[in-house]
Structure 1
Amino acid sequence: MMNNKKIILTDVTMRDGMHAMAHQFSDDDMAVIAKALDEAGMDIIEATHGDGLGGNSLQYGLAKNTDAEYLAAVAPQIKNAKLSVLLIPGIGTIEDLKEAMQYGINTVRVCTHCTEADVSAQHIAFARKNGLDTVGFLMMSHMIPPEKLVEQAKLMASYGANCVYSTDSAGNLTPDGVTARITALREALPADVHIGFHAHQNLSLAVANSIAAVEAGADRIDVSLAGLGAGAGNTPAEPFVAVCNKLGIPVGADLYKISDAADNLVRPRMTHPVQVDGKSLMIGYAGVYSSFLLHAERAAARYGVDTRDILVELGRRKMVGGQEDMILDVALDIAKQAK
């Protein structure tokens, strides 16, 4: 279905990447990275706590700065791109969004579990009414078949979303699963509603899945410098843009500039390698929310159990984003069973 349309790239280095950094990017870090992304031609740049507006908490992780401080640092650096924030209803509120709007944001991505689009109605309607590029973000989209995803996407579009994402939060999908979901969304939604795709690298398929999404009709793709993100990371911007260049898929980002930003700004700031290893692989294999990784590692160390056992059990119980508090319960159960 590729027709040489320009693909809109949303960079999530400073949002999903915050999970990999235990939310410890400083506002100065974000300012430097945002400037480089803008100069490299990124279309949309997202910056908040990893769990979005309101996520700065003991439950989800305390960040080095507040969302307001991050946005105040990032906004002046962006001259051409759109500035985006993420909002998960139940974590962030409309009041949080109002505050973010004071910093000149252009885009908000309203996230729900893939079966719970109805909880986004007020947030999406408010954002659209106030002139924001309003995106519905259906997380853990591997957990339901394409026809059910379409039902939820239609709800988000009816509330006012001008773009709806199939979000592979667990990095569990393979290219055929991506193709099925994006094709179904494109066929079901109005032509003026964009379709987006967000991948994770847990099965080493992020670039392949993102290309499959483009071929199936996606308009927007999420990328991250050096792949920085939860679990094994997100679709790495540099190889994705390189592959797009090879295939003749138009993207606005400059390959050299994003490669320099990844090598010189992001990798030196990493606190640990973001890669496919035994633990992040289990996230993709078991279909677990990618940002559970660091939480599971801490729980494993606390109770003396294997991180992989925690992740597999979380997958068996079908835990989803927002249930981080259950990770300790699972670790404790495993520790008790081992005695």
Structure 2
Amino acid sequence: MNEQLFIQDVTLRDGSHAIRHRFRVEDVRTIAAALDAAGVASIEVGHGDGLAGSSLNFGPSPVGGDLAWIAAAADVVTRARLTTVLLPGIGTIDDMKAAVDHGVRAIRLATHCTEADISRQHIAKARELGLDTSGFLMMSARTDPADLAEQAAVMEAAGAQCVFVADSSGQLTMTGYRDRVRALRDRLDAATEIGVHAHHNLGLSVANSIVAVEEGVTRVDASLAGLGAGAGNAPLEAFIAAADLQGWKHGCDLFALMDAADDLVRPLMDRPVQVDRETLSLGYTGVYGSFLRPAEQLARTYGLSTRDLLVEAGRRQMVAGQEDMLLDIALDLRARTDSPADTARTM
């Protein structure tokens, strides 16, 4: 692998999930400056659910939305490409234009892995605005490689310059990632890049990212200390260490990333970003990482097991944007627990 990898840090976007979207402006400024100095190619900033995601449904931001975070990063980033995410149906083209006005130079249009068609007009507008434009196929474990490749082709036809295989639930193994990247490479134009966005719920994010690069991926998502939904993303410093051992070019300063992870990011965690019974349940059952924190809150409120809530969400094949439906699950489980029949069986 002689081509230099494009390292995209997602600490300040996907990492938002892990701290309930409560980044302070000064946190964004400090972390973005450290990432820029450490040599990452792109720094993604915004609400975990993308532009306009700050809401009661997805989690409100204490600063009122994405633009304050984006402006803070733009103040200190001198080299890296400032990036954000938009989920059609949550964010709008007007939100995209506002992000550009505040310093964004690249955008990723994210959809469920079977719904690429809803991103067409957003991708076209992003290209018209001169943005580096990527498609982002979330929950890629939920469809087979051939169908995923067809969805990627929809994004490519709309103008996407790169398409990411996003394992939002952390359910894919190395074989699953390899098969999906190969399918995309066979289907897409050679000039269209492919990206990897791996989550760590099965503990495989770095391994999956390595396999993806071996299959031709050139853009790699990762975050400092793995900060992200569920058990987090591929830890940036761990992936860069492995890339060094592989002899891959990436342009990053490993020790600077180690320091930023431990000194700047870990102190912000109010819940360890790790593989535990709850986050492992996400990967095992294929549930989007953003379900973790609301499931934990509902479990405390109703005296339930977080794992039971997440397993049932997986059984119902819930997807991003349906986090509020966890309440229905909680009420169902609570009623089941309180039923006379269940009480008799436990006596």
Which bin holds the TM-score, normalised by the shorter protein? over 0.9
SS for the counterpart of 2:75 is helix
The answer to whether the 8 Å contact 1:26/1:64 transfers is yes
Give SS of 1:52's match.
Answer: coil
Q: Residue 291 of structure 1 aligns to a residue in which SS?
A: helix
1:217 alignment partner in structure 2: 216
Give 1:249 deviation, angstroms.
Answer: 1.4
Separation in 1, partners of 2:256, 2:239 = 14
* 2:5 maps to 1:4: no
**Mapped partners of 1:216, 1:169: distance in 2:** 20
Which runs of structure 2 are paired with 1:112-191 in the superposition (5 Å)?
112-191=111-190
Deviations along 1:208-260, one digit per CA (max 9) or x if unpaired, are: 00001000110111000000000000000111000000011111111011011
State percent identity of aligned pairs: 54
The secondary structure found in structure 2 opposite 1:101 is helix
Q: Aligned residue for 1:63?
A: 61
Task: Tell me the amino acid that sits aligned with residue 241 of structure 1.
Answer: I
Aligned to 1:91: 90
Q: For residue 47 of structure 1, what is the aligned residue in structure 2?
A: 45
Whether contact under 8 Å (2:225, 2:265) holds in the other structure is yes
Q: Please name the residue that 1:36 is paired with.
A: 34
What is the TM-score of this pair, normalised by structure 1?
0.98
**CA RMSD across the alignment:** 0.7
Q: Deviations over 1:255-291 (max 9, x none)?
A: 0110111111111121121100100000000000011
* Amino acid in structure 1 at the alignment position of 2:275: V
Aligned to 1:18: 16
- How far apart, CA to CA, are the structure 2 residues paired with 1:233 and 1:41? 22
Shift of 1:187: 1.6
- 1:280 maps to 279
Question: 1:63 aligns to what SS in structure 2?
Answer: coil
Question: In the aligned structure 1, how far is the partner of 2:316 from the partner of 2:32?
Answer: 38
Q: Is the 8 A contact 1:4 1:248 kept in 2?
A: no
Q: Any stretches of 5+ residues in structure 1 without a counterpart? A: none
Segments of structure 2 that go 5 or more residues without pairing to the other structure are: 339-347
Amino acid at match of 2:236: A
**Whole-angstrom CA distance in 2 between matches of 1:4 and 1:327:** 46
Query: Which piece of structure 1 moves more, 266-275 or 305-314?
Result: 266-275
**Counterpart residue type for residue 44 of structure 2:** E
Which of 30-39 and 325-334 deviates more?
325-334
Name the aligned partner's letter for residue 211 of structure 2.
A
CA distance in 2 between counterparts of 1:272 and 1:334 reads 25
2: CA distance, partners of 1:320 / 1:217? 28
Residue identity matched to 2:179: A
CA distance in structure 1 between the aligned counterparts of 2:322 and 2:60, rounded to whole angstroms: 17
Whichever residue aligns with residue 26 of structure 2, its letter is: D
Q: Distance in 2 between matches of 1:165 and 1:227?
A: 18
Q: What's the offset of the Cα at 1:68? A: 1.1
Equivalent residues of 1:197, 1:218 under 8 A apart: yes
- Counterparts of 1:187 and 1:249 in 2: how far apart (Å)? 23
CA distance in 1 between partners of 2:177 and 2:2 (Å):
20
- TM-score by length of structure 2 reads 0.96
Count residues with an aligned counterpart: 337
CA distance in 2, matches of 1:84, 1:68: 12
